[in-house]
Structure 1
Amino acid sequence: MSEQLKLSAETRERAGKGASRAMRREGRVPAVIYGNNQEHLSIHLEEKALVKMLNTGFFMNSVVMVEVGGKAHRTLPKDVQFHPVTDRPLHVDFLRIGEHSQVVVAVPVRFVNEEESRGLKRGGVLNVVRHELELSCDAANIPDEIIIDLAGYEIGDSIHISAVTLPKGATPTIEDRDFTIATLVGSSGMKAEAAEAEAEAAEAGEVPTVGEEAAEGEASADKTEA
């Protein structure tokens, strides 16, 4: 389960671009708390504390308790805007939630037991289609990650959501199809070796070329007519 995070904040008395720029110069990040049938609350956070949480890698799928004026607000981060050049956080949106609200989060996928995969042992490559899974789950039981076991998978195999064990109470938001998460494919080196082997076999007369196949077909047809 994702760790519950805590942030201290202060209310914003002034709005607008000028006020926001002034806050950023002072090392603060403008933010807003909304949802749960309550009024929006404009706040600002300490940039250093926010960046530290962003660097954990699971900020966006964690419950964040934002304390404003002695009152704690249970929230889920919904959006973080970054500066296009410096990557500094410019603004954060927090969704206010109940303790057991049903929430939608993007949970990272982690693959294990690569050494137990026959396909990877043979030189295959894991082609990851989805690095995250969008899940609907209880706010009190948000998973840190979804682990997928690669043991036994061969080249040509696909890993679909139906083959993944999800935490209790968590369901994928895509319900209309058994979508693919990853596939095991042959490496370019393996394909080149296979093509080279076919070429050598053809030169040795073991595998007929397209022209030879056509000639053999015509010969068979002539014998039949005769």
Structure 2
Amino acid sequence: MAASYELKASARDRVGKGAARALRREGLLPAVIYGDKKPALPITIPVKETTLTLHKGGFTAQIGVIDIDGKKHQVIAKDYQLHPVRDDVLHVDFLRVAKGATLTVEIPVQFLNEEDCPGLKKGGVLNIVRHTVEVTVPADAIPEAFELDLANAEPGDSLHISAIQLPEGCQPTITDRDFTIATIAAPAGMKEEEEDEGAATEEEAVEEEAASE
């Protein structure tokens, strides 16, 4: 399986908050590699390269390589901690990825043809319910993103997971319903017209019923 990034690392023997602060002053981050029925491995990784990799997007949905003093480990980032104020990366948890493994990951959703969407052209608003979709997928076939085409979406439409073509072997973790990814909210004027039409129809029905009595 092809890796999306590679980070140089070193084994870490210092633990605790004081040690973590000392590492950050040296331009390093504390991290850990775990899983695959092997002992957890505390490591240090470079702050700059890790931050750049994180900001490219899809950090927790990409296979990476951690090079620990020449020995390479295939991993996927399962969690990371950010500073509550500065958003600096403070810690990363990596999961070992064994050959043939199946992973649960969050895949981002990309919306296509917004400029051609009839619902948006008529003044509707794209309401995104899910920016990502959690799926189980073979580790060697993780898609970069799911694409949802808006070319035929009209005001009031709901767009569901069934509208996305999933790659072979990829399965949403929610399987009991065709869940919503986004909707095209109708503009206020259109809603008022529909309500007025509904009220008028109801009044006509009442008048017809009264006339027949």
CA distance 1:120–1:100, shift in 2 (3 Å): same
Q: Answer whether contact 1:104 1:134 (CA < 8 A) is retained.
A: yes
Per the alignment, residue 10 of structure 1 pairs with 10
AA matched with 1:176: D
1:150 aligns with 2:156: no
Please give the alpha-carbon distance, in whole angstroms, between the structure 1 residues aligned to 2:2 and 2:130. 20
Question: What's the C-alpha RMSD, in Å, of the aligned pairs?
Answer: 2.7
AA matched with 1:148: L
Per the alignment, residue 160 of structure 2 pairs with 160
Per the alignment, residue 39 of structure 2 pairs with 39
1:119 aligns with 2:115: no
Q: Look up the SS of the partner of 1:144 in the other structure.
A: coil
Please give the alpha-carbon distance, in whole angstroms, between the structure 2 residues aligned to 1:213 and 1:63. 63
Which 4+ residue blocks in structure 1 deviate beyond 4 angstroms?
A: 207-210
User: Any unmatched runs of 5+ in structure 1?
Assistant: none
User: Any unmatched runs of 5+ in structure 2?
Assistant: none
Per the alignment, residue 54 of structure 2 pairs with 54
Q: How many residues align?
A: 212
Following TM superposition, by how much is the alpha carbon of 1:114 offset from its aligned partner in structure 2, in angstroms?
Answer: 2.1
Please give the alpha-carbon distance, in whole angstroms, between the structure 2 residues aligned to 1:61 and 1:18. 31
Deviations 1:172-205 (A, max 9, x none): 111111111111111235446x38x959xx9xxx
Q: Answer whether contact 1:2 1:62 (CA < 8 A) is retained.
A: no
Q: Answer whether contact 1:2 1:142 (CA < 8 A) is retained.
A: no
AA matched with 1:46: P
Per the alignment, residue 94 of structure 1 pairs with 94
Per the alignment, residue 175 of structure 1 pairs with 175
AA matched with 1:145: A
Following TM superposition, by how much is the alpha carbon of 1:152 offset from its aligned partner in structure 2, in angstroms?
Answer: 1.4
Deviations 1:92-149 (A, max 9, x none): 0000111321001101101111233322221111111000011111111111100111
Q: Answer whether contact 1:107 1:135 (CA < 8 A) is retained.
A: yes
Please give the alpha-carbon distance, in whole angstroms, between the structure 1 residues aligned to 2:196 and 2:31. 62
AA matched with 1:167: P
Please give the alpha-carbon distance, in whole angstroms, between the structure 2 residues aligned to 1:27 and 1:38. 28
Aligned-pair identity in percent equals 47
Q: Structure 1 length normalisation: TM-score?
A: 0.84
Larger radius of gyration: 1
CA distance 1:150–1:2, shift in 2 (3 Å): farther
Please give the alpha-carbon distance, in whole angstroms, between the structure 2 residues aligned to 1:19 and 1:159. 49
Per the alignment, residue 25 of structure 2 pairs with 25
AA matched with 1:88: D
Deviations 1:10-42 (A, max 9, x none): 111111111111111111100000000001100
Please give the alpha-carbon distance, in whole angstroms, between the structure 2 residues aligned to 1:72 and 1:83. 28
1:67 aligns with 2:72: no
Q: Structure 2 length normalisation: TM-score?
A: 0.89
